[in-house]
Structure 1
Amino acid sequence: MEKKIILIATSNAGKVREMEKAFEGLPVRLVPLSRIREVLPDAGEIEEPVEDGETFLENARIKAHYYRTQTGLAALADDSGLTVEVLGGAPGVYSARYAGVHGDDAANNTKLIAEIRAQGTENAAAAYHCALVLVLEDGRELGAEGTCAGFIRPEARGTEGFGYDPHFYRADGRSMAELSRAEKHTISHRGAALDMMKKMLAEAL
C-alpha cells in the first residue's frame, strides 16, 4: 500500500518526534513543514496563518485547514499549551509566545516562574492541553484532544522534554522532562490526543 503523505503543520522538532512515534504502523508518511520540498519540490514560501482562535482546538483547526488549502496535502495541526490555575488559565493559547518571542522556552519559563511567585506560591496546579486537527485531501476533518494534570515548580529537572516540561511535575514527583519518550507518551496530553487521532485515522484510511 502506498503511504499517504500528511503534512505536519509545525516546525517544532519535539512535536514532530512525538507524532512520528505515535503513528508508527500506519501507512502514512509524515512530512514536517521544514521538509515540504521533499514532496512538493516547487513549493514556494508559505506564510504562517494568523492564529486568532480563543481555544487550542480553534487554532489547530485554523492551521490544518490553512495548510491543506495551501498545499493540497492532508494536513495535521497541533495546538497545545499550559494553563495555570493561579494565573487564571494563563499562558493558555499564548504558551509558545508567553514572553513575547515564539518558541523561546527559556524566556517563557522565566516569566512563568516569576508570575507564579508573584502570586505567593511555588507549587501551582496546572494542566497541559493538546488539540489535534487533521484535514484530509477531500476536506474531511478529524479532531482529538487530551489533557494532563500536574504542578508547576521553580526547580527545573530533566533533559528529555521541551517547552515547560522541566518545570511541569506529575504526582509521582518527576518532571515531564525526566520521563522517557515512551513514558511521556503514555501519560501526556499529546500522547492521549495522538492515540485518539491514530484510531480515527486508521478507520479513515
Structure 2
Amino acid sequence: MRRRIVFATNNAHKLDEIRAIAGDRLEVLSLADIGCHDDIPENEPTIEGNAIAKARWVRDRYGYDCFADDTGLMVDALGGEPGVRSARYAGPGHDSEANVALLLERMDGVADRRAHFTTVIALTEGDETRVFEGRVDGEILTVREGEDGFGYDPVFRPEGCAVSFASMSADEKNAISHRGRATARLLEYFNSL
C-alpha cells in the first residue's frame, strides 16, 4: 500500500513535478486535498527555515504528516540573489515573468553567469522533522530559452547541458534537477523504513 503524505504547496507545477518523481511510491496529497486554503507564511531568513516552517504549519493545524519545500536560485555575481526571495524577487505577487525580467536586467552585461538552484524538503512525522537537500549548478542565460518548466527555468542552463531547464522534457529535468535530487533523498528515506 502506498504511503499517503501531504505536500505543502499551492503551486500546481511543483505538485505535478513531485508526483511525477514519486511515481507510484507515494500518494501525494495537495493542500486543497486536505481542505487547507491557508496562506502559509514564508518569513524565515533561510530556505531550510521556510521549508521547516511550512511543514510544521500543516502538521500543527491539520494533523497530517507533511513535507514542504523551498527553493532558491543563487546567482554568484549578485551575491546570492535572489536566494530565499526567489519567488518574490520582483515583488510579493509570485510573478515568474517579472522575476525573470528583473534577473535578466540585473545580469545585463555581467560576464560571470554562474548560479545554482537549491531545494530543501522538510518532512514532519509527528514531532520529528527531517531535512533533505538537492542542488544543481549551472549558469544564467542572457535570454529566455524553451517553453516548458516554470519560474526561472527559461534562463537557467544546468552544468554539462546544452539547453535550459525550460527546453527539457519533464523527465529530463526531473532526472537532474535540484527538486528531483531532494525528492530522491526523501524517497530513499521512505524506502529505508
Structure with greater Cα Rg: 1
- How far apart in 1 are the matches of 2:92 and 2:43? 16
- Structure 1 residues 13-92: aligned runs within 5 Å: 13-26=12-25, 28-37=26-35, 45-49=37-41, 51-92=42-83
47 and 109 in structure 1: CA distance in 2 versus 1, 3 angstrom threshold = closer
CA distance in 1, matches of 2:169, 2:112: 23
Pairs within 5 Å for 1:86-125: 86-117=77-108, 120-121=109-110, 124-125=113-114
Equivalent AA in structure 2 for residue 66 of structure 1: W
Instruction: For 1:176 and 1:98, locate their aligned partners in 2 and report how far apart those are by CA, in whole Å.
Output: 19
Task: Tell me what 2:128 maps to.
Answer: 140
2:182 counterpart of 1:193: yes
Q: TM-score, normalised by structure 2?
A: 0.92
1:136-168 Cα offsets, whole Å, 9 max, x none, are 2x2222210011111111211111210000000
Contact 1:122-1:154 at 8 Å conserved across structures: no
- Offset of 1:122 from its aligned partner? 5.8
**SS of the residue 2:85 aligns to:** helix
Residue type of the partner of 2:120? A
What is aligned with 2:138? Answer: 150
SS in 1 for 2:144: coil
Superimposed CA distance per residue, residues 83-115 of structure 1 (whole angstroms, 9 cap, x where no aligned partner): 001100000000000000332100000100111
- SS of the aligned residue for 1:46 comes to coil
User: Is the Cα–Cα contact under 8 Å of residues 77 and 133 in structure 1 kept in the other structure?
Assistant: yes
Q: In the TM superposition, what whole-angstrom CA distance separates every residue of 1:42-64 from its partner, at most 9, and x where no partner exists? A: x6x53423x22222111101111
Aligned-partner Cα distance in 2 for 1:157–1:6:
35
* Residue number in structure 2 paired with 1:40: none
Distance in 1 (CA, whole Å) between partners of 2:97 and 2:112 is: 19
Stretches of structure 2 that go unaligned for 5 or more consecutive residues are none
- Is the Cα contact below 8 Å between 1:123 and 1:153 reproduced in 2? no
Q: What is the rounded CA distance, in whole Å, between the counterparts of 1:109 and 1:122 in structure 2?
A: 18
Cα distance in 1 for partners of 2:166, 2:22 equals 22
CA distance in 1, matches of 2:12, 2:122: 18
- The amino acid across from 1:144 in the alignment is F
Alignment of 1:171-190 (within 5 A): 171-190=160-179
Q: Cα distance, 1:123 vs. partner? A: 5.8
Q: 1:46, 1:158 → 2: CA distance? A: 33
Identity of aligned residues (%): 35
Deviates more, 1:178-187 or 1:86-95: 178-187
Give the letter aligned to residue 38 of structure 2. Answer: I
C-alpha distance in 2 between matches for 1:76 and 1:172: 30
Quickly say closer, same or farther: Cα 1:133–1:9, change in 2 above 3 A.
same
Q: Distance in 1 between matches of 2:38 and 2:84?
A: 22
